[in-house]
Amino acid sequence: MTVTTESPLARAEAAARVISSKVPVRPTVALILGSGLAGVVDAIQADLQTSTAELLGSPSTSVAGHSGKVIVGRLSGVRLVVFLGRIHLYEGHSPEEQTLPVSLSSLLGASVLLLTNASGGINPDMVPGDLMVISDQINLTGRTVIPPGTNLPGVGRDVYDRTLADLLENAATASGVRVHRGVYAGGLGPSYETAAEIRMLRRMGADAVGMSTVLEAIAGRRLGMRVAGVSVITNLATGISSGKLSHDEVTAGAASAGANLKAGLAGFLSELGALEIQMPRMK
């Protein structure tokens, strides 16, 4: 199932043909899972499972907690395509390469893009294990992305869909999970922020910080998808926590908090299934 064509658009189109030939029913939702969050979809009824690297001809991720698999199936009554992990800019990949799963999902017909990540909490009201529904973002990567096949100059005022954000927050609350609404700051990485940088981010309006998500959200919005995002607060950011941060701590925190995301996600998908007819693509 290896895709060897060179351009990002051609590779995404070839991968979409492969999936469509094996699973003719189109997915409604594309779900990208962050560090250590693969267990969130362990109950998925899979019709197809392969590696993202094999499907898209992309290099495998070198980051622990990102298995690099793609699954097409059904969860909570909703058809979806799921990417278990992602590649990152700091691994040496281009924005177009990093957002290939988004381009593929759009070609498959998914109208909703749900992004998740493991992040450090900046807002003092947050504790590890909490969820934060992303209301807006700060792109600190120094990059942007125009997905192959589009030429749109901007993403509009709202990157994140407010209706989807409400559904996510309500679903998490109904599941008994602590949930916040806030701004996600996505940096280049791979180093963690200094205490001074965290103070700067807080003054800029950021509530949580990580090293992903922002370009995927831009790509999805430019492709006309309705974008939603959830940060799993796995640790407190530097200067708020007295400990020394490590990726092992982040993935361990994600694994322990995954049950909260799983509960919220199940409720969200159930509600989304009922509203599916009302979720057309953006224009």
pLDDT in tens, 78-118: 999 999 988 888 888 889 989 999 999 999 999 999 999 98
pLDDT of 266 > 60? The answer is yes
Beta-ladder partners of 160: 227
211 is catalytic: yes
Measured in degrees and rounded to the nearest 5, phi and psi for residue 200 equal -65, -45
Predicted local distance difference test score (pLDDT) of residue 56? 86
Whether 88 sits among the annotated catalytic residues: the reply is yes
pLDDT tens digits for 220-246? Answer: 999 999 999 999 998 888 777 655 665
Q: Which of 118, 132, 206, 219 does the annotation list as catalytic?
A: 118
Query: In this predicted structure, what is the pLDDT of residue 61?
Result: 56
Annotated catalytic residue: which of 106, 212, 231, 260?
A: 212
Q: What's the rounded mean pLDDT across residues 8-12?
A: 87
pLDDT score recorded for residue 66: 46
Q: What pLDDT, on the 0 to 100 scale, is given for residue 35?
A: 74
CA distance 255 to 249: 10
What is the model's pLDDT at position 2? 46
pLDDT digits (tens, 9 = 90+) for 131-179: 999 999 999 999 999 887 776 666 767 899 999 999 999 999 999 999 9
Told to judge if 66 belongs to the known catalytic residues of this protein, a careful annotator would answer yes
Is 90 annotated as catalytic? yes
Give me the domains of the chain, ranges plus CATH numbers: 8-276 (3.40.50.1580)
Express each pLDDT in 55-81 by its tens digit: 887 665 555 444 688 999 999 889 999
